[in-house]
């Protein structure tokens, strides 16, 4: 396989393999390991405040001199209304009771104690650190932000889960589109509608490649040479891998989480809003089963903030039933090798 293409030229990398920006899993070490073998590492900044963004970017820069992307959540923040305030209080009580029943001591903040960060605050920090590749999900950047980043010669990578979203991104001047298949682990990047498109990833990829002219990265289910080559045939120039790296030495997952991951069965994997208020694909557990069909799921980012303390304490207690372990549908061995070894193996398999 010939690796050089429009993606490698735009991003100044040798192999068009992109490490997925998985907040809570990705570490500066994982990003650097990917970039140091001439692929594109992606530093997940999610909705961190500007100071935390700068700290993570600088730490990553200490580990690699090669290009890497930073990734942010671009989403609308719902206004705090009387109804939302009341719903939050009810959901807070529900989760506190659930934690108490399972011997988890948590202290959830009130809605007025939350700090919700806007992506606009992050952009200045990203520009100040001279980051030249920005990927984003959950929405589209506004025109002012796009113009501001373009004037800084920043390459923009937007995420879509439908043909309509891809066209919106292209018409906005986004340089590269990441097509996220339904198979992908973690949060869905959907932003036109709250209902996620049910189209399969490879079918979506083929349609998007016919509908837009900008280069395409495909994410969702790539874990070996066959899946990578299939996405290439259907129009992808870049190949994003996430679940393949969950068990790596650089992954931020704890050992008890990796152990659960390696025992996963296809029936365990579910799309759920229970942890964050946005659809995400991961491993079913007690929290999801207890919450999924209730009224106690708030819109993002409030549900995400609401469950943060529960997840933090559960990690400390090595309780797999109350943490989110995001994973895609392509179950693999979740190798404990280094990120570099896992990606090199994929390149070698695909080059044969």
pTM over the 0.85 mark = yes
Q: State how beta strands 41-46 and 133-137 pair.
A: unpaired
Please tell me whether residues 32 and 95 are part of one structural domain.
no
CA angle 100, 106, 107 (to 5 degrees): 125
pLDDT in tens, 81-113: 999 999 999 999 999 999 999 999 999 999 999
CA angle 181, 18, 7 (to 5 degrees): 95
Please tell me whether residues 197 and 223 are part of one structural domain.
yes
**Domain count of the fold of the chain:** 2
Packing angle between helix 201-211 and helix 163-171, nearest 10 degrees? Answer: 40
pLDDT in tens, 181-203: 999 999 999 998 777 777 889 99
pLDDT in tens, 238-295: 999 999 999 999 999 999 999 999 999 999 999 999 999 999 999 999 999 999 989 9
Please tell me whether residues 183 and 305 are part of one structural domain.
no
Please tell me whether residues 306 and 180 are part of one structural domain.
no
Report the DSSP beta bridge partners of residue 135. 71, 157
Please tell me whether residues 272 and 339 are part of one structural domain.
no
For 1-17, the DSSP string reads ----SHHHHHHT-SS-E
Which residues form the domain of 200?
Answer: 1-77+117-251+333-352
């Amino acid at each position: 396989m010939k690796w050089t293409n429009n993606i490698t030229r735009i991003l100044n990398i040798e192999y068009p393999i992109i490490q997925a920006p998985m907040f809570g899993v990705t570490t500066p070490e994982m990003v650097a390991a990917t970039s140091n073998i001439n692929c594109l590492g992606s530093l997940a900044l999610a909705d961190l405040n500007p100071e935390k963004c700068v700290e993570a970017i600088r730490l990553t820069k200490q580990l690699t001199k090669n290009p890497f992307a930073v990734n942010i959540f671009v989403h609308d923040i719902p206004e705090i209304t009387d109804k939302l305030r009341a719903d939050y209080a009810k959901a807070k009580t529900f989760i506190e009771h659930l934690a108490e029943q399972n011997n988890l001591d948590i202290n959830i903040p009130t809605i007025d104690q939350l700090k919700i960060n806007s992506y606009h605050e992050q952009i200045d920090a990203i520009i100040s650190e001279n980051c030249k590749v920005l990927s984003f999900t959950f929405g589209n950047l506004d025109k002012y932000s796009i113009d501001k980043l373009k004037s800084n010669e920043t390459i923009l990578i937007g995420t879509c889960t439908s043909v309509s979203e891809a066209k919106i991104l292209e018409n906005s001047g986004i340089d590269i589109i990441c097509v996220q298949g339904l198979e992908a682990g973690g949060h869905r990047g959907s932003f036109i509608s709250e209902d996620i498109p049910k189209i399969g990833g490879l079918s979506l990829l083929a349609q998007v490649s016919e509908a837009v002219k900008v280069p395409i990265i495909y994410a969702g289910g790539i874990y070996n040479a066959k899946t990578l080559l299939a996405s290439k045939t259907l129009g992808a120039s870049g190949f994003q891998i996430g679940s393949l790296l969950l068990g790596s030495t650089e992954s931020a997952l704890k050992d008890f989480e990796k152990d659960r991951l390696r025992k996963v069965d296809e029936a365990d994997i579910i799309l759920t809003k229970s942890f964050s208020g946005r659809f995400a694909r991961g491993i079913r557990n007690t929290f999801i089963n207890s919450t999924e069909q209730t009224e106690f799921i708030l819109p993002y980012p409030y549900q995400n903030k609401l469950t943060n303390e529960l997840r933090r304490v559960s990690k400390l207690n090595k309780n797999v039933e109350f943490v989110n372990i995001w994973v895609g549908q392509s179950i693999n061995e979740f190798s404990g090798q280094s990120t570099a070894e896992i990606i090199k193996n994929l390149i070698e398999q695909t080059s044969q």
